[in-house]
Structure 1
Amino acid sequence: MSRTWSRTSMSMVMMLVLVIAGIGCSAKSTTNAVETTQPSKVEKVYIYANAGNLEVASSFSKPEELELVRQEIIKKSGFEIVPIIPPKGGGDKLSLLLASNEPLDIFMGDVVMYRNHKAIQPVQKLLDKHGANILKLWPEAWSDSWKAFSDKEGNVWGIPSAPSLALKPVFLRTDWLKKLNLSMPTTIEEFEHVLQAFKEKDPMGNGQTIPLIAPVDALNLGLAGGFMDIGYGNWLDTDGKIKPAELHPGYRAFIEKMSEWYKKGYIYKETYTLSSAGARELVTKGRVGASLIHYSLITNSEHQLQQIVPEAKYEVAADLKGPQGFIQTLPDTPTLGWLISKNSKNPEAAIKLINWIYSDIENYNLLFYGIKDRHWKYVDEENHVMEQLNQDYAGEFLTASTVAYMKMTSFSDPAQKPEYDYLSTYSGDTSRVKKGTTADRSFLYDYKLISDSLPNQADITRMTYEEIVKFITGARPMSDYDKFIEELYAAGLDKWIEVYTEQYNNAK
């Protein structure tokens, strides 16, 4: 069953925020004086500091450094940001704040959920009046994000933090390609030939070469689209009904090919019991030739691998296509972003603050990384290549974090460069990916109604995943695929199709 709903996208976006927050730093210190002349009028804006950066921070800011950053923000913007720090290890403090009379203006959350709970307010009029920089920063190619933050009447209810991003590409060890006199593959046949060469010629040696690591979810989003005339996900059949990807004939052909690769030893035998930490360990040991896992497991491991194998290099098979075109599918449009509390005492100031943040990347850097040349510096200012000087400021004032700025920024640390290269070059490139049929509508679905109508939905999803793994690993023969579809219908697929078709039609 398709697992690419908006809720899945939410966790992906939060992960991205955590990734860009987990930056390396050098242990340098400075004593630069910071001028703190305040403007005559200062407006307070209360934020719930749940951008994700504090979750990975080793400690909070030094009090004196926090105060310096606070004063610098006031001096430059005319706003005093008052951060409300989420409890470590979770907790429901945000819900309590939203239900109380305590001051709160801006927080990060799922626009669909908080709109349905009447906890936020629409921002269209405020954007029209005070949000020119907010609207300008977001590229036209990501316009679906604004649709995801709008209701059926066209009212905008928040500010998106990330579009759909391609995060599960095919990475290949290009040093191994060179060693084996192979080219970067552009077709499935060429890719299969590369995997065969990795398997038979064993560039790692001693039988330690792993041709491909590819768990099911990554296979679905990273490769299945090449076998389907649409992107992977729920799709509209010729009978006018929305159906899961498993019923698409192209998906069946895809699973059949993956089963063939697994049988030949191209796909790592332990892939389907492998943790993320386990996958990263195999990469850093130099055993993995190709991967279809989350991009960060490769990019964050490459530098460590190069300490052992200096020539090791992973590159994206950017032009790889299947029988039906490009292989990657974008997840459904995320609905996680920056929202204005319904009880905000000054929503106008909140939008003005975000508009100021989006007027200049250095305003954003001030909130995220601290004071230029005190907490961070430019190594290459023209290209926004940065170096963090210390961890004295942890980012408590960060609000309105956005992938739009993340894609403009990189760090001089060679351990971080592969990740930022991928994010800036490939993650938002819509020219090499497909969209699912429901990507531009699923954010309008009534998920509470779906949950109420399909109480066994989780069981169907789990059953689908388990059976697909069996088909790939050979524990169940492909000749049983029709029987598997019959089992899905017996488990309630008819009702599932009815409910999702109704939601699709109602979301027009």
Structure 2
Amino acid sequence: MKSTNWKKGTAGTAAVMAATVMLAGCGGEQSAAGSPAAQTPKQEAAAPAKRPEITVTMYDRGGVPASEGSYEDNRWTRWINQNGPVQVKYVPILRSDSTKKLNILFASGSAPDIIHEYNTPFRDNLYNQKQLLPLDDYLKHMPEYQKILDRYPQLKKAGTMSDGKLYYIGKMKEATPAHAFFIRTDWLKKLNLTMPTTTEELLKVAQAFAEQDPDGNGKKDTYGLNLSTYSQYGVNEMFGAQMSDSQLSWGLKDGKIGILWENDLAALTFKKALYAGGIIDKDFLNDKDGAKAKQDFLNGKLGIYMNGSTSWYDFPVNDVATLKKNVPGAEVDVLPYPKSPLGDYTGAIDNPIQMMTAFNAKAKDPVAAAQYINFMMKPETGSKIVNGDEGVHWKKDANGCPMPLDPQKVKNEVGYAGDYEIFLSRVDKCDFLVNKFDASKPEQKAALEMYKKAQDTYMNPGKQYAGIALTQYMPTFAGDLNVIHTTLHKQITDLYVKAMLSGDKYTPEQAVKDAQAAWEQAGGKKLEEDINTWYAKNKDTAFLIKDVWEIVKEQKQVK
């Protein structure tokens, strides 16, 4: 693709140069009467129009290989700036520290023009503080997004705030399992164990993996399960608890929304047993992004890997290959969520309607920002950035869909590009993961089968879902209620961590009892009243879990 602005600038410069040469060559000519030729007054060559400049945040996930450069400067930032309508400066922000960093940037008045952040409570707080710009007047500069809004009116609804104006830009994507358990089936065979189907069996298998030397090196150096920040969510979900780093375990009981203390207690009791039994890494609290747990798994030291942010192409194709390279004979399979005493639950679903982008109310050039969004939403832009170059990174398969030529090359050169192209709605046949594997290659055929099994296992509406909605669509609290929520979330989290680490000195039962007391004392009832008022008013129109299952059903028909 060529930039129209670039063409105009180049053509204009060439024309000026040509005119200059012609004038220089004719300057000494005489008129027919022998007098000097009439000279055209010199005119200043028009300087090429300066491209608008904008700043844009992006998640730094540590995914740019050194050979590619940095998040600020790599093949994709250069391509976007060469071909897009504006000059973009990217501001990388650590994914695990994004809200803290953005708070600092807004407080200092240096927040970028365009803000990408998936954390709904944080975005809503910016809205409440009037830090965001209404976008209705700028939709005319984003015709590509208007097309998406017309096709999926749910996006307009999800991006509109209480004042009736549009503030958030979002996208449609495939609904996939966000959290998944993977188990070393070769370890099961070696220890003569079967696939666990209940949480009680899961605990026994994990303990055996930690104690019975499944790797055969004569050392007690293996873990049964991992409990980094995000992987804890999966363990909570087994017991119907939705508690996360931003959410408490809200749920529906007897027609009212409240905290599911019983579910919290069951999850906490299980996690304490993991820690007390030496089944997990004792230093799990410092593994905030799960990088240590992943390395333990890839190095053959972890038997059950709870992946809290599963990439369903990269993991079964590349990570499993790395494991098998490091540990010849290793075998991995999807582990369905074991049934708990509180029910048969499935895990979190990656949100198919994602709101993630807003404009800073102090954006210097909102029109330029809108033009950038429009460029990034063009199908040809998205195809280029998401897939790379045809013949270099991909070829068309029998269905006409892009098929990666070399998974490792694609991972290195294209894998991180999705952090720039986060706007593209991907809901056509070629966008679905089942059409991205090359089944003619044995390793990719196996990866495809793993993903299909995960879909059947985790995307099952017959199972219960922890919570009434995806985390992103739970209502947020404003003003004093937000202060109460933040305070209580930290207090309850700290109490639960204390119970996990304190042995017999502090039990899960006491932790939950203390959490309930804190709830009463700090104003938790006010939160309950507010969220139930919201539910009574919006239960028929809000985007709840039943709506997610409907999207899953629709997408299965497209695939």
Rounded to whole Å, the distance in 1 between the matches of 2:63 and 2:504 is 40
Rounded to whole Å, the distance in 1 between the matches of 2:472 and 2:8 is 44
The one-letter amino acid of 2:162's match is: K
1:310 corresponds, among 311, 324, 328, to: 328
Moved more, 82-91 or 306-315: 82-91
3-state secondary structure, aligned to 2:116: strand
1:476 corresponds, among 503, 506, 513, to: 506
Contact 1:212 1:288 in 2 (8 A): yes
Structure-2 change in CA distance of 1:146 and 1:215 (3 Å)? farther
Q: Percentage identity across aligned positions?
A: 19
- Considering only CA atoms, is the larger Rg found in Structure 1 or Structure 2? 2
2:250 corresponds, among 214, 229, 235, to: 235
3-state secondary structure, aligned to 2:91: coil
Superposed displacement of residue 222, structure 1: 1.0
Q: Does 1:83 align with 2:88?
A: yes
Q: Does 1:177 align with 2:209?
A: no
1:234-383 equivalences in 2 (<5 Å): 234-236=249-251, 243-245=258-260, 247=261, 249-260=262-273, 267-268=279-280, 270=282, 272-273=284-285, 275=287, 276-295=290-309, 299=315, 301-318=319-336, 320-323=338-341, 324-329=343-348, 337-342=356-361, 354=373, 357-360=376-379, 362-367=380-385, 372=390, 376-378=393-395, 382-383=401-402
2:236 is matched with which residue? 224
Superposed displacement of residue 173, structure 1: 0.8
Q: Deviations over 1:229-272 (max 9, x none)?
A: x7554335758775444x2x23323444455565666x336264
2:17 is matched with which residue? none
3-state secondary structure, aligned to 2:133: coil
Q: Does 1:120 align with 2:133?
A: yes
The one-letter amino acid of 1:339's match is: A
Q: Deviations over 1:31-62 (max 9, x none)?
A: xxx87776988996754332236965442588
Rounded to whole Å, the distance in 2 between the matches of 1:46 and 1:421 is 46
Structure-2 change in CA distance of 1:92 and 1:488 (3 Å)? closer
1:500 is matched with which residue? 527
Structure-2 change in CA distance of 1:52 and 1:40 (3 Å)? same
In structure 1, stretches of 5+ residues that fail to align are 1-33, 74-78
Structure-2 change in CA distance of 1:460 and 1:157 (3 Å)? same
Structure-2 change in CA distance of 1:154 and 1:202 (3 Å)? farther
Contact 1:330 1:436 in 2 (8 A): no
- Structure with the bigger RCO (C-alpha within 8 Å, sep 6+) is 1
Superposed displacement of residue 220, structure 1: 4.8
Contact 1:215 1:271 in 2 (8 A): no
Superposed displacement of residue 337, structure 1: 1.2
Superposed displacement of residue 326, structure 1: 1.7
The one-letter amino acid of 2:306's match is: L
Tell me the matched-pair count.
452
2:116 corresponds, among 108, 121, 137, to: 108
Superposed displacement of residue 502, structure 1: 3.3
Q: Deviations over 1:106-140 (max 9, x none)?
A: 442454233222422134993896535434887x9
Superposition RMSD in Å? 5.3
1:50 corresponds, among 52, 57, 72, to: 57
The one-letter amino acid of 2:59's match is: G
Structure-2 change in CA distance of 1:65 and 1:402 (3 Å)? closer
Structure-2 change in CA distance of 1:181 and 1:190 (3 Å)? same
The one-letter amino acid of 2:184's match is: R
TM-score in terms of structure 2 length: 0.61
Contact 2:149 2:156 in 1 (8 A): no
The one-letter amino acid of 2:237's match is: G
In structure 2, stretches of 5+ residues that fail to align are 10-48, 95-100, 539-559
TM-score in terms of structure 1 length: 0.66
